């Protein structure tokens, strides 16, 4: 199967890291295509960044539709554009936040999230509510590191994440920790070893969920509210979206 992982920000190094993490975990028959939008923010740290990034996510899904894609992963912890992306394809589309929440709820009764900046906590909270995991998550914690610090050698980012994970383990009454940023895709093992409980990261979780759905022959339902967009005119820069052919 051909799995397109869309890093919604435009930092190529992060796409590379995410792609590598995905390849390490993917099944033998899975080809990972890691990509990022041509246009958009270098990191996603709030609602505005996320709203803009969603356009790039859409474009990468449309590109994927021309590339025989079997499944998509949206590799930013806010799952930007998730439901919109689902409208564009019959393939499954998985967000890394939802993937991590689902997996965490299967191996623990309660988990905490450790994310980058506290200002993005509200995004995680809204997703937990929409997806149904509000009561499974004890607390959304922030290590207070900007996303791109995760890309810098010698940054103290890892140490601060581990420190926050220790607090989560000791104070929250949890069985597992969810890492709340796509840029943490390579840290799972290190943190899990340090902290001594299961650590779930969304990119890898989403790859395996996508493989699972494809294996089941399941894709996004085209019956009801995730059906292909109604064909219509778009104008200006977005003219290209006019009358998208429904059956790809």
* Residues numbered 143-182 forming contacts with its own copies, rule: CB under 8 A: 146, 169, 173-176
Closer of 37 and 161 to its own copies (Cβ) = 37
Sheet containing 2-6, strands listed edge to edge, beginning at the edge strand earlier in sequence: 31-35, 2-6, 71-74, 93-95
Q: Which two tokens stand for residue 12?
A: 């190529």
In the complex, least distance from residue 27 CB atom to its own copies, rounded to whole angstroms: 7
In the complex, least distance from residue 150 CB atom to its own copies, rounded to whole angstroms: 14
53 sits in which H/E element: helix 47-65
Give residues with Cβ within 8 angstroms of 217, minimum separation 6: none
In the complex, least distance from residue 237 CB atom to its own copies, rounded to whole angstroms: 4
Closer of 13 and 52 to its own copies (Cβ) = 52
Sign, Cα dihedral of 60, 238, 243, 223: positive
Backbone angles phi, psi at 125, to 5 degrees: -60, -45
In the complex, least distance from residue 156 CB atom to its own copies, rounded to whole angstroms: 19
Q: Which two tokens stand for residue 78?
A: 């806010």
Site string for its own copies, 39-78 (x = CB under 8 A): xxxxx-xxxxxxxx-xx--x--------------------
Number of residues near its own copies (by CB under 8 A): 92
State which of positions 189-228 bind its own copies (CB under 8 A).
196-198, 200, 204-205, 208-209, 211-213, 215-216, 218-221, 223-227
In the complex, least distance from residue 7 CB atom to its own copies, rounded to whole angstroms: 13
Residues in the chain: 248
Give residues with Cβ within 8 angstroms of 45, minimum separation 6: 116, 117, 119, 120, 146, 147
Q: Is 37 in the site for its own copies (CB under 8 A)?
A: yes
Q: How buried is residue 241: exposed, middle or buried, by Cβ count under 10 Å (0-12/13-18/19+)?
A: middle
State which of positions 85-144 bind its own copies (CB under 8 A).
85-88, 92, 94, 98, 102-103, 105-110, 118-122, 126, 129-136
State which of positions 229-248 bind its own copies (CB under 8 A).
229-230, 232-239, 241
């Amino acid at each position: 199967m051909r799995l397109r992982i869309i890093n919604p920000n435009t930092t190529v190094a992060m796409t590379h890291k995410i792609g590598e993490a995905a390849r390490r975990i993917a099944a033998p028959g899975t080809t990972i295509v890691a990509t990022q939008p041509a246009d958009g923010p270098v990191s996603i740290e709030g609602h505005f960044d996320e709203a803009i990034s969603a356009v790039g996510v859409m474009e990468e899904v449309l590109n994927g539709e021309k590339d025989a894609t079997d499944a998509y992963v949206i590799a930013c912890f806010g799952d930007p554009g998730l439901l919109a992306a689902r409208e564009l394809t019959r393939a499954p589309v998985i967000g890394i936040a939802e993937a991590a929440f689902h997996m965490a709820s299967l191996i623990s009764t309660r988990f905490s999230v450790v994310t980058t900046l506290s200002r993005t906590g509200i995004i995680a909270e809204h997703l937990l509510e929409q997806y149904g995991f509000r009561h499974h998550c004890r607390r959304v914690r922030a290590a207070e590191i900007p996303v791109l610090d995760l890309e810098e050698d010698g940054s103290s980012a890892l140490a601060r994440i581990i420190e926050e994970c220790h607090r989560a383990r000791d104070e929250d009454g949890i069985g597992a920790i969810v890492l709340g940023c796509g840029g943490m895709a390579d840290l799972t093992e290190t943190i899990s070893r340090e902290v001594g409980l299961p650590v779930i990261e969304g990119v890898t979780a989403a790859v395996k969920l996508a493989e699972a759905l494809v294996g089941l022959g399941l894709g996004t339902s085209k019956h009801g509210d995730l059906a292909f967009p109604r064909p219509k005119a778009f104008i200006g820069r977005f003219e290209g979206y006019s009358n998208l052919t429904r059956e790809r």
